[in-house]
Chain A
Amino acid sequence: MGVGVGFRYAAAVRCMQPLALVGFVLLGAAHAHADAPPLPVSDQAYDLDVQLSPDQHRIDGSERIRFVNHSVRVLHELYFHLYLNAFANDKTVFMREGGARLRSTRLGARGGITLLELRTADGTDLLAGADTELIAGDRTQLRVHLPDALAPGSAIELHVRFRSQLPALVARAGFADDFLMVAQFFPKLARLEDDGTWASFPYHGLGEFYADFADYTLRVRVPARYMLASGGDEVAARSRGPVQEHTFISRSVLDVAFAAYPYFVPSSFKHDGVDVRFFAPRGYDAAVLRQSDVVRGALTHYAHLFGTYPYRTLTVVLPPRAAQGASGMEYPALFVSAGPWWALPRALPDPAQDLVAAHELAHQWFSVMLASHEVETPMLDEGLAQWAALDFERQRYTASSWLHALDFSSHELFDLVRSIYLSRSGRAPSSLLPAYAYTYDDLARAVYARPALVLDRVEQTWGRARLEHALGAYARQQRFHHPTLANLWSAFDDTYGASFAARQLRPALAGKKDALLSEPAGPPSATLTAQLLFVAQALMHWIGT
């Protein structure tokens, strides 16, 4: 634990009012996973009260934010993220960076957040003097000036009223037919670094997020026919005529989000002390069965490698077909998976069902718990999650008796990724760049594929035990600590010896000569060629006679 972090928690505890403290302790009791180390105490809290109008795709909400200046500097301003505004028009940073085009879609119905009120507990309006457009054309960031300076360790309470309009689904948040993915829907503070700088940035075309841990209470009123899937514990659900009110509590999380859909078929099971809940559309039984298997296996696998999953619940949403824009995204104790309704039998590999689920679950460690800066160092979440997912599936596929019989050797999954990675002409840029520096294709190669391949090569060269040790130490020590690349390097140096990162890992990830990846061209495989000839013969036979 670094000095800054120690200071932050000390400051938080010192500033807490007695009532809030009781609340936090109760929340802690409600939320900690029995076998996991206790969750850290958050110095921020969001109390969200929202009404969802599904037909208008609208959210009317109020929020109470409790914020502690956990930095070492006096603060004169606050930064908020209003990320739904990324979908407000074609001039936003998200749209200019090709956020819709890269996903082969266009901005349909627009979205955004309108701030109706933002004031301090004593009623001072903060909205009047606020800077609403920190980048021309983009209103995803908001800077407000505080009436009084906020000293280190001091707390402030804010009251907000807002109205959010969900866009037609382009990326992550929005609606598709009756399905609503409600994410980035409320004004949220940017992360305050320990040195007092605000890590504020617009919603980028390709980047994800970065935030402080906070405790959330989310109350949602929604027409009773809608089912809600959210991370966190549902502590209350009551009917008020045609409206149902759900209350969710999450502790020490980076964000809250929920999916709403009238046709969810819920199912649940318990694994390693975690209540796992699936929300899938009708007809997805096979996919749920298959992905439940992935979640069971991967929860155990990742816990062994990176430390116990910290939350008591895990919610998995399979979006309906029209809502693919929401899929493949992680939130605390929640992820939106992907896959068709049909699935292959368990004995056969089915990457269309397995890989996204395994990858998104790995994000519960690399991004949800380790909370690195997803825009500045996407490798730390995407790269590590991709390695974890491939590593898990490799073990799972190799253990399958069918694949064993077919001699599906243990490295073939990585070999496949390596083949695809190496097949593209031109070298991929460094894996250590910020997300906005990449094209979509480069991001896939540099941030997802290369880190996974480099780690696989490290394993092949220096052995499994050392890799597990290095990654395990990094993941366990940096839990809830917003690690940077420096933390990853030092974890590897501690395991492999001084300057291992500088000599081996970093150049390989930076793409210098693809040091750990280059491989001499072997002769063509006679077996493969014989089989290809057979396939071509069959093809010619069917067409030619």
Chain B
Amino acid sequence: MTRPASAAERLGHAGAATLLVHLSQSLLASGVALPLGASFTVPSFGTQLGPLLLRVAVYTVANALFAPALCMTWLYALLHPTPLRELTRRGFARYGLALRVSLACATCAGLLLALGVGSAWLVHRALSSAHDARLQDLGALAACLPTLIGCSFLLTIHDTARAAVALDVAHVRAALRAGYLAASARVIVERNASGAFALALFALGLLGPRLLFGAGPDAGLATLLITQALALAMTLARGLWLARALTHTERVLTRASVPRT
């Protein structure tokens, strides 16, 4: 039996799919950003805000619907070096299963959020006699903490369960169980560290170019280069995490008896 590939190796042989993911997301993003940017000239700012917001909503929903297929394609690519055509075929073949995994996680997240909102509301009410808005708000925020922790757990399971689908687990419940088993505390921390890293890159992209070049007219190209490099880095960081999610899930699947096709 050969040694399982490292996350970096997996990302290396999934170069084409990673690029596909990155470009398709960027294409969708430019459909939103370019008209928005054009509208930001002083005399017309906001005049077409309604249609623009609608555009953002349509693109976001389209992206969310397209996501399971794209993510499965990417996971297959990270699993085995395979021609892109075959990858996309397999990705779309598992669309239904990946979508159901997402829906199951979203349902749990919804319940968790309802629980969080409910407990926050109760705490807010209970603290109203203190006549201290800060205490009330911070108390309500603290009441949301279990929900936040639960959601970070769910985010991890969402990825590891999809990894299980890529590893040929054929049923939603089995995939979720595998995802659950793979989401150890260490793996959750790893998932959230990867998310935090992406957030840091995002903040760097917002502030970095301004700090370096100011907002002058010449800063456009430099800003574009830097932000695009950072956007690519975000995609790579995500790819690296998905590769690790595959490794973690694979390990669980070899130990536990989860039915596969």
Q: Return chain B residues, CB-CB under 8 Å to A543.
A: 60, 63-64, 67
Contact A534 B205 (CB under 8 A): yes
Q: How far is the CA of A63 from the CA of B95 in the complex (A)?
A: 79
Question: How far, in angstroms, from A420 to B59 measured CA to CA in the complex?
Answer: 26
The interface bits of chain B over 8-49 (1 if a CB of A lies within 8 angstroms of the residue's CB, else 0) are 000000000000010001101110111011101111111101
Provide the bound-state CA to CA distance between A258 and B16, in Å: 70
Cα distance A340–B134 in the bound complex, in angstroms: 9
Decide if A18 is an interface residue (CB 8 Å cutoff): no
Check if B223 sits within 8 Å of A406, measured CB to CB: no
The complex places the Cα of A529 from the Cα of B31 at a distance, in Å, of: 12
Q: Is A281 an interface residue (CB 8 A)?
A: yes
**Beta-carbon contacts under 8 Å, A390-415 to B:** 405-407, 409, 415
| Distance A407 CA – B214 CA, assembled complex (angstroms) | 5
- Report whether B43 and A284 are in contact in the complex, using a CB–CB cutoff of 8 Å: no
A325 to B137, CA, bound (A): 21
- In chain A, residues 509-538, which have Cβ atoms closer than 8 Å to a Cβ of chain B? 518-538
Task: State how many angstroms separate the Cβ of A344 from the closest Cβ of chain B.
Answer: 15
User: How long is the Cα–Cα vector from A91 to B131 in the complex, in angstroms?
Assistant: 35
B25 touches A281 (CB 8 A): no
User: Does A521 lie within 8 Å of B44, measured CB to CB?
Assistant: yes
**Chain A stretch 120-145: residues in CB contact (< 8 A) with chain B:** none
Distance (whole angstroms) from the CB of A241 to the closest CB of chain B: 25
B122 within 8 A of A: no
Within 8 A of A (CB), among B192-218: 198, 202, 205-207, 209-211, 213-217
Flag whether A545 is at the interface (Cβ < 8 A): yes
* B46 (CB) vs chain A CBs: closest residue: A423
Q: Establish whether residues B33 and A532, one from each chain, have CB atoms under 8 Å apart when the complex forms.
A: yes
Residues on the A chain within 8 Å of B49, using CB? 423
| Nearest neighbor of B61 in chain A, beta-carbon distance | A543
Q: A406-B207, A538-B231, A544-B25 are contacts. A283–B133 as well, Cβ < 8 Å?
A: yes
**Structural contact, B34 and A531, CB atoms closer than 8 A:** no
Chain B's nearest CB lies how many Å from the CB of A199? 39
Complex contacts, A236 vs chain B, CB 8 Å: none
A503 contacts the other chain (CB 8 A): no
> In the complex, what residues of A have CB within 8 A of residue B228's CB?
534
Q: Does B235 contact A (CB under 8 A)?
A: yes
Number of interface residues of A (CB under 8 A): 52
By beta carbon, the residue of chain B nearest A321 is: B133
Nearest CB in chain B to that of A261: its residue? B131
Residues from chain A with Cβ under 8 Å of B234 in the complex: 537-538, 541
Task: Please judge, given known A-B contacts A284-B134, A534-B205, whether A419 and B45 are in contact too, CB under 8 Å.
Answer: yes
| Chain A residues with CB below 8 A from B214, complex form | 407
Residue on B with the closest CB to A263? Answer: B131
Q: If the complex has contacts A425-B47, A543-B60, A544-B64, are A531 and B227 also in contact, measured as CB distance less than 8 A? A: yes
Say yes or no for B224: interface residue by CB 8 A criterion: yes
Say whether chain B's binding surface is mostly helix, strand, loop, or mixed: helix
Q: Which of A281, A523, A526 contacts B224 (CB 8 A)?
A: A526
Q: Is the CB of B206 within 8 A of A535?
A: yes
Residues of A within 8 A of B209 (CB): 527, 530-531
Chain B 112-139, CB-CB to A under 8 Å as 1, else 0, gives: 0000000000000000001111110100
Assess whether A422 is in contact with B227, with CB atoms less than 8 Å apart: no
Determine if A539 is an interface residue (Cβ-Cβ < 8 Å): yes
**Alpha-carbon distance between A540 and B66 when the two chains are bound, in angstroms:** 11
Residues 488 to 526 of chain A near chain B (Cβ within 8 Å): 518-526
Residues in B neighbouring A178, C-beta threshold 8 A: 131
> Which listed residue (B26, B40, B132, B207) contacts A524, Cβ 8 A?
B40
At the interface, yes or no: B219 with Cβ under 8 Å from chain A?
A: yes
By a CB distance below 8 angstroms, the chain B residues around A418 are 42
Partner of B211, one of A406, A422, A527, A542: A406
When the two chains form their complex, are residues A533 and B29 in contact, meaning their CB atoms are under 8 A apart?
yes
Known A-B contacts A527-B215, A535-B206; the reply to A422 vs B45 at CB < 8 A is: yes
Flag if B42 contacts A519 (CB, 8 Å): yes
Q: Which residues of A contact B211 (CB under 8 A)?
A: 405-406
**Cβ B220 vs Cβ A422 within 8 A:** no
Question: Could you tell me if B131 and A320 are in contact, using CB atoms closer than 8 angstroms?
Answer: yes
A341 interfacial contact with B, CB 8 Å: yes
**CA–CA, A281 to B220, complex, Å?**
46
Q: In the complex, what distance in Å separates the CA atom of A134 from the CA atom of B215?
A: 59
* CA–CA, A262 and B131, complex, Å: 10
Residues of chain A within 8 A (CB-CB) of B41 are 521-525
Please tell me if B181 contacts chain A, counting CB pairs below 8 Å.
no
Q: Which residue of B lies closest to A412 (CB)?
A: B215
Q: Compute how far the CA of A432 lies from the CA of B43 in the bound complex, rounded to whole angstroms.
A: 23
Are A536 and B223 touching (Cβ within 8 A)?
Answer: no
Q: When A263-B131, A283-B132, A407-B215 are in contact, do A544 and B45 touch as well, CB less than 8 Å?
A: no
CB pair B133–A281 under 8 Å, yes or no, is: yes
Determine whether A269 belongs to the interface, using a CB cutoff of 8 Å to chain B: no
Q: Which residue of B lies closest to A264 (CB)?
A: B131
- In the complex the two chains form, is B231's CB within 8 Å of A282's CB? no
Smallest CB-CB separation from A533: which chain B residue? B33
Q: Is B185's CB within 8 Å of the partner chain A?
A: no
CB pair B210–A544 under 8 Å, yes or no, is no
User: Does B221 make an interface contact (CB < 8 A)?
Assistant: yes
Chain A neighbourhood of B74, CB < 8 A: 545
B230 beta carbon closer than 8 Å to chain A: yes
Q: What residues on A are CB-neighbors of B34 within 8 Å? A: 529, 533
Verify B231–A529 contact, CB threshold 8 A. no
> B182 interface residue, CB < 8 Å from A?
no
Report B214 CB to chain A, min CB distance, Å: 4
Are B133 and A545 in contact, with the CB atoms below 8 A? no
With A519-B42, A524-B40, A530-B227 in contact, is A283–B210 under 8 Å at CB?
A: no
A340 closest partner in B (C-beta): B133
B70 within 8 A of A: yes
Q: Please tell me if the beta carbons of A534 and B227 are within 8 angstroms of each other in the complex.
A: yes
A420 vs B215: C-alpha distance when bound (angstroms): 20
Interface residues of A in 413-456 (CB under 8 A from B): 415, 418-420, 422-425
Pair A524/B29 contact, Cβ less than 8 Å: no
| B144 CB within 8 Å of chain A | no
Among residues of A, the one whose C-beta sits closest to the C-beta of B211 is A405
B210 adjacent to A530 (CB under 8 Å)? no
Q: Which residues of B contact A407 (CB under 8 A)?
A: 210, 214-216
Contact B132 A531 (CB under 8 A): no
CB–CB B215/A545 < 8 A:
no
Beta-carbon contact of A528 and B25 below 8 Å: no
Which partner residue on chain A sits nearest B159 by CB separation? A545
Which of A262, A521, A545 meets B67, CB within 8 Å? A545
Chain A residue nearest in CB terms to B74:
A545
Select from chain A the residue with minimum beta-carbon distance to B29: A536
* Residues B134 and A341 in contact, CB atoms below 8 Å apart: yes
List residues of A whose CB falls within 8 A of some B CB: 178, 262-263, 281-284, 320-321, 340-342, 405-407, 409, 415, 418-420, 422-425, 518-545
For the complex with contacts A530-B224, A536-B36, A540-B59, 4 further pairs of A-B residues with Cβ separation under 8 Å are A340-B133, A526-B221, A533-B30, A541-B234
9 shortest interchain CB distances as A-B pairs: A526-B220, A283-B134, A529-B37, A423-B46, A407-B214, A536-B29, A534-B227, A282-B132, A530-B224
A-B contact pairs, 18 of them (CB 8 A): A281-B132, A283-B133, A283-B135, A341-B137, A406-B207, A418-B42, A420-B46, A527-B216, A530-B220, A531-B209, A532-B33, A533-B227, A536-B36, A539-B32, A540-B59, A541-B235, A542-B198, A544-B66
